[in-house]
């Protein structure tokens, strides 16, 4: 979803590439799902999972926002059997050593062990673990104090036949209040966490295994701890992404202790897929009172928590996130195009930009020109995911050329991780919300960085026979590192 701004600048390509683009290509698959999780209304104190997800109109596109996606279309990708062959880097490198598992560390018993809530269904043990996590980490997040466990009857997995649900502010909840939803609320009767166990959690489990529901529960109990810490005086998007960050910190706590489902690195890949599926509709505003964040932003928040813990999450505020959010609204031109350029138009526009950027990194850069024929097999992804699938493909190829020019290996897992970091760094100046050098002819559009993550998920899926579990999490982290910290963080030399 790139956009041409005004009259393009003129660029001069120094030379044509040395030989054709090489075939680093295999078939594809991508994680798909669409859910919203936990939107907070600071005035009422209620976290509403459906608030961040737009209602589905009668037709596929809303009249007042023609570039937007409906929930059913937010990731309009076909089933694997319908996906045509398209090029993705082959990461099969026999010289790569096998990945060795790190032995689990020995941790003391949790300082807080609660009973399983009688109405939490099969997720009662997950609730106990989340509260054990908060028993150990609340003071580090809030600065002082201790976590107060919820009353056991205020934690409810709701099925379609429930008729005796808890009350909130003297109004008894109904099944329809919680359908396709999960929320936390502050009520006169006590804090409450509830989720749709028959539909939402079944769907999440089918797509992402136990990781999907576990992340939702951790997100909602992140809101519980925000309530108790008194930090709900922020914009909604900050509150929501802080809860994503706290869910990531819980996942790391589980991972360190090798507790199911985070006893396997595959859970981290599932976490990326489930988190990006919770994204706001591309084109939404981060200032919207129901904003949760773009998929890229929400994955970034989850990874922040996983890598840096609750202490880092505590720093989340508008000032801290203002330079990181990629959730931007559609321009008028985006509304006309859906935020996507045509395949050939994108290549012609983006190639000079990448050639200029990488020419600044590498002395005696020979220039690289990618013709549509070189990228022809990416047309399918361009149509299915969006135009930044092609943008990412180009950025990866430019990163590989930079490695070759510097005498570095451009094949194998390590090289691909570096290429992805370089791609993130190349995208960074194109986001209008980030200060710095931004070409006057080119800008990322809403959802572009989500498209980059979705494209990486296809690359990883198609190379699973040579990749260790957890690689999707790792490669998206490299994209985030380059985007956030720039080329210096990619170790190009």
Q: Is the pLDDT of residue 104 over 90?
A: no
- What is the model's pLDDT at position 102? 53
Average pLDDT over residues 464-486: 94
Average model confidence (pLDDT) for the chain? 79
3-state DSSP assignment of residue 279: coil
State the DSSP code for 329. B
Average pLDDT over residues 262-272: 95
Phi–psi pair at 155, nearest 5 degrees = -125, 110
Average pLDDT over residues 41-62: 31
**Closest CA relative to residue 475, chosen from 273, 234, 312:** 273
Average pLDDT over residues 41-55: 34
**Closest CA relative to residue 109, chosen from 257, 218, 217:** 257
Q: Is the pLDDT of residue 270 over 80?
A: yes
| Strand order across the beta sheet in which 46-48 lies | 39-41, 46-48, 182-185, 192-196, 155-158
Question: pLDDT tens digit string along 439-448?
Answer: 456 888 888 9
Between 162 and 267, the more confident residue is: 267
- What is the model's pLDDT at position 291? 79
- What is the model's pLDDT at position 290? 80
Q: How far apart are CA 340 and CA 338, in angstroms?
A: 6
- What is the model's pLDDT at position 11? 22
Confidence of residue 293 (pLDDT cuts 50, 70, 90): confident
Q: Are 246 and 260 in contact (CB under 8 A)?
A: no
Q: Are 398 and 358 in contact (CB under 8 A)?
A: yes
Q: Which of 139-148, 319-328, 409-418, 483-492 has the lowest mean pLDDT?
A: 319-328
- Percent of the chain predicted with pLDDT > 70: 76
Average pLDDT over residues 321-336: 79
- What is the model's pLDDT at position 464? 84
Q: Is the pLDDT of residue 173 over 70?
A: yes
- What is the model's pLDDT at position 445? 86
Q: Is the pLDDT of residue 72 over 80?
A: no
Question: pLDDT tens digit string along 213-229?
Answer: 999 999 999 999 999 99
Whole-structure pTM value: 0.78
- What is the model's pLDDT at position 91? 57
- Count Cα neighbours of 339 within 13 Å in the Cβ-side half-sphere: 27
- What is the model's pLDDT at position 330? 77
- What is the model's pLDDT at position 363? 94
Domain ranges of the chain: 2-31+80-95+331-490, 39-59+113-257+284-321
Q: Which helix (H) or strand (E) holds 409?
A: none
- What is the model's pLDDT at position 465? 86
- What is the model's pLDDT at position 226? 97
């Amino acid at each position: 979803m790139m956009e041409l701004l005004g009259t393009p600048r003129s660029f001069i390509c120094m030379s044509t590439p040395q030989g054709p683009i090489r075939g680093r290509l295999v078939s594809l698959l991508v994680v798909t799902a669409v859910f919203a999780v936990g939107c907070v209304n600071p005035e009422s104190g209620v976290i509403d999972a459906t608030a961040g997800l737009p209602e589905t109109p009668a037709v596929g596109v809303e009249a007042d926002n023609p570039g937007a996606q409906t929930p059913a279309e937010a990731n309009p990708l076909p089933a694997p059997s319908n996906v045509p062959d398209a090029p993705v880097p082959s990461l099969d490198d026999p010289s790569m050593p096998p990945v060795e598992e790190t032995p689990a560390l020995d941790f003391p018993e949790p300082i807080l062990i609660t009973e399983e809530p009688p109405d939490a269904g099969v997720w009662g043990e997950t609730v106990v673990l989340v509260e054990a996590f908060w028993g150990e980490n609340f003071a580090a997040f809030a600065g002082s104090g201790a976590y107060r466990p919820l009353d056991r009857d205020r934690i409810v997995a709701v099925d379609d036949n429930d008729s005796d649900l808890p009350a909130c502010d003297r109004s008894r909840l109904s099944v329809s209040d919680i359908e396709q939803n999960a929320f936390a609320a502050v009520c006169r009767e006590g804090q409450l966490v509830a989720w749709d166990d028959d539909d939402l959690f079944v769907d999440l489990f089918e797509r992402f295994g136990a990781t999907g529901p576990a992340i939702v529960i951790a997100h909602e109990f992140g809101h519980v701890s925000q309530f108790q810490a008194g930090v709900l005086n922020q914009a909604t998007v900050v509150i929501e992404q802080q809860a994503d960050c706290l869910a990531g910190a819980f996942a790391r706590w589980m991972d360190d202790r090798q507790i199911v489902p985070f006893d396997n690195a595959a859970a981290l890949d599932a976490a990326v897929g489930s988190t990006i599926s919770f994204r706001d509709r591309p084109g939404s505003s981060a200032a919207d009172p129901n904003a949760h964040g773009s998929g890229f932003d929400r994955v970034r928040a989850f990874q922040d928590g996983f890598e840096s813990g609750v202490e880092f999450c505590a720093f989340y505020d508008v000032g801290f996130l203002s330079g990181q959010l990629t959730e931007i609204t559609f321009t008028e031109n985006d509304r006309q195009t859906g935020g996507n350029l045509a395949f050939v138009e994108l290549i012609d526009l983006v190639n000079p930009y990448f050639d200029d950027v990488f020419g600044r990194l590498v002395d005696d850069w020979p220039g690289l020109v990618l013709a549509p024929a070189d990228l022809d097999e990416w047309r399918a992804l361009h149509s299915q995911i969006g135009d930044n699938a092609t943008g990412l493909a180009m950025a990866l190829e430019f990163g590989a050329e930079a490695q070759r020019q510097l005498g570095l290996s451009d094949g194998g897992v390590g090289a691909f991780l570096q290429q992805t970091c370089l791609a993130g760094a190349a995208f960074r100046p194109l986001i209008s919300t980030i200060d710095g050098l931004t070409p006057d002819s080119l800008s990322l559009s809403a959802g572009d960085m989500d498209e980059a993550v979705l494209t990486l998920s296809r690359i990883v899926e198609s190379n699973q026979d040579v990749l260790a579990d957890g690689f999707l999490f790792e490669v998206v982290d490299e994209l985030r590192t380059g985007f956030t910290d720039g080329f210096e963080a990619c170790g190009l030399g």
